[in-house]
Amino acid sequence: MKEMLERYPASPEYLLELLHDLQDAEPRNYLTSEALEAVAERLSMPLSEVVSTATFYSMYSLKPRGKHIIRLCESPPCQLLGAESLLDYISEQLSVGVGETTEDGVFTLETTSCLGVCGVAPAMMIDEEVYGNLTKESVLKVVEAVRRDDATG
């Protein structure tokens, strides 16, 4: 963690970058209290200010999440082409609500505002990958493929 903290100059300007890096490095995709404390110390900021900023932005989580984050777009272009029923379907198939993590800790289901790939709406991101033109069949295939890739390592 020390190496990561020293990647940027010790200025509050780099708070968002540090939070991104530390969260990405954590297998459960969240900001641990140790990480938040270390950032506060490195940037000489009150811990409360670090936490307050971290909780403002939707890409950060202070709670452990799944290994993979599913972000389904719920903006009007995706909504118009069926994102709502898709969300219900994924939620049912994975037995999780929005913001929850599957029992095996593999997936967290989240919604997101526009991902900027509306040409292929409805769309979602799993981690850094974008998937579009989703249907009930294809969304399940994608999720299963991610699970399979994990198993084969």
Partner 1 sequence: MRLARGHLLLGINDEALLAGAREVEAALRQALVEHGLTDEFEVIETGDTGFTGQGVTLVVHPDRVAYGNLGVADVQEIVTEHLLKGRPVERLVLHLPDPADKGSERIVLKNCGLIDPDSLEEAIAVGAYGAMAKIVEEHIPPAAVIDLVKESGLRGRGGAGFPTGLKWSFTAKGEQVYIICNADEGEPGTFKDRLILEGDPHRLIEGMMIAGYAVGASKGYIYIRGEYTLSIERMQRAIDSAREAGLLGQGILESEFAFDLEIKKGAGAYVCGEETSLIESIEGKRGFPRLKPPYPGAVGLWDKPTVVNNVETLANVPPIILHGPEWFRSFGTASCPGTKVYTILGHVNKPGLAEAEMGTTLKHIIDEYGGGIEDDKKFKGALIGGAAGAFVCPDCLDKPMDFDGLQELAAVLGSGAVLVFNEDASIVEMLDGILSFFKHESCGQCAPCRGGTRALKTIIGRIREGKGQPGDLDQMVEIAGTMQAMSLCPLGQSAILPITSALRHFKNEFEAAIA
Ramachandran assignment for 21, one of left (phi > 0), alpha (psi -120 to 50 degrees), beta (any other): alpha
Decide if residue 69 touches partner 1 (CB under 8 A): no
Regarding 81 and contact with partner 1 (CB under 8 A), the answer is yes
Nearest approach, Cβ of 18 to partner 1 (angstroms)?
9
Give least dist CB 1 to partner 1, A.
19
Look at the alpha carbons of 38, 68, 101, 27 in this order and tell me if their dihedral is positive or negative.
negative
10, 38, 60, 132 from 129: Cα distances, Å = 31, 30, 17, 10
Q: Residues 82-111 vs partner 1: string with x where CB under 8 A?
A: ------------------------------
The C-alpha atoms of residue 133 and residue 14 are separated, in whole angstroms, by: 36
Q: Give the nearest distance from C-beta 85 to partner 1 in angstroms.
A: 11
Using CB under 8 A, list all residues that contact partner 1. Answer: 11-17, 19-20, 43, 49, 52-53, 56-60, 74-77, 79-81, 112-121, 125, 128-132
